Structure 1
């Protein structure tokens, strides 16, 4: 199995979840080749040979990030040690742009979608939009879209820490994808 996990991250939380998913996949399938890369490093040469493509991003304005929402998040993060320039920060183009150049998958390739989000009914989620784009690009979904909770994200604009237990839950979800 060749799995690629592609993520977009501003505060580093989505990167942490992506890395936990990779660990879960590796634990469940020690023979698998698993790569975990930011969206800026996920060109066709990286994703083109994947049997499993897992894609995740933060939730911005009820869904996937956009150019304006990414700029606002980077501005909010500028005064935050977890923000721009910190671990997981990815100032390049987001997932919406990346999906436009996603190559045709291998026959039978599967995909999975995840996001990071606030634990608020009105926060929405990016995972369903990501899953829709994966199916549009002819990936069969390996699992239902999944969201991982970040504490205080919307209220404090801090990109708060992941909720306790979410990293472990992400590793378990990754293992289930194997």
Structure 2
């Protein structure tokens, strides 16, 4: 099995979840080839051979991020210790396209390709979630969903992940295998 986890992350929380999902997949299927890549590095040469494509991003303004919401998040990240990568300050380099743009160029998958969607979100009734929009786009691109869209909770906009969420992401990743 070849699995690719594609993520969009500003504060590093979604990246942490993506890496935990990859860890869970590797643990459940040691024979699998598992790649975890930011959306900017997930071109057709990376996703084209995937039997399982897992895509995830942060929740911005009740759903998937957009160009303006990503710019606002990067500006906000500039004032936090989390920044774009763990242990850095500031928004870091331009992260490239977001998931919305990436989906526009996603090629048709191989027959029988499977998909799964996740997001990071605040634990507020009105926060919404990006995972359902990601799942709809995967389905539109002919991926068969293997799990319901999943949300992982952050304590505040910049994180950290709520206690236990990383472990839950590992378990969710294992269940996708």
TM-score > 0.5, shorter chain as reference: yes
Shift in Å at residue 160 of structure 1? 1.8
Aligned-partner Cα distance in 2 for 1:87–1:37? 18
Greater displacement, 84-93 / 54-63: 84-93
Give the match for residue 165 of structure 2.
Answer: 166
Moved segments of 4+, more than 3 Å? 79-90, 151-158
Do 1:76 and 1:157's aligned partners in 2 also have CA atoms closer than 8 Å? no
SS at match of 1:123: coil
1:38–1:90 contact (8 Å) kept in structure 2: no
**CA spacing shift, 1:127–1:56, aligned 2, 3 Å:** same
Give the Å deviation of 1:84: 7.7
Structure 2 distance, partners of 1:48, 1:4, is 10
Could you tell which deviates more after superposition, 153-162 or 56-65?
153-162
- Whether the aligned pair in 1 keeps the contact of 2:24 and 2:171 (CA below 8 Å) is yes
How far off is 1:82 after superposition?
Answer: 5.6
Determine the structure 2 residue equivalent to 1:148.
none
The aligned length equals 173
Contact 1:9–1:90 (CA under 8 A) maintained in structure 2: no
| Pairing of 1:13-92 with structure 2 (within 5 A) | 13-78=13-78, 91-92=95-96
Aligned 8 A contact 1:153 1:160 in 2:
no
Q: Note the alpha carbon deviations across 1:37-73, whole angstroms, 9 max, x for none.
A: 0000000000000000000000000000000000000
Worse-matched range after superposition: 95-104 or 71-80: 71-80
**Cα distance in 2 for residues equivalent to 1:4 and 1:152:** 18
Consecutive unaligned residues in structure 2, runs of 5 or more: none
Deviation at 1:158, TM superposition (A): 4.8
1:152 counterpart SS class = strand
Structure 2 CA distance for partners of 1:34 and 1:47, relative to 1, 3 Å: same
Q: Is the 8 A contact 1:13 1:88 kept in 2?
A: no
In structure 2, the CA distance between the partners of 1:75 and 1:88, relative to structure 1 (3 Å rule), is: closer
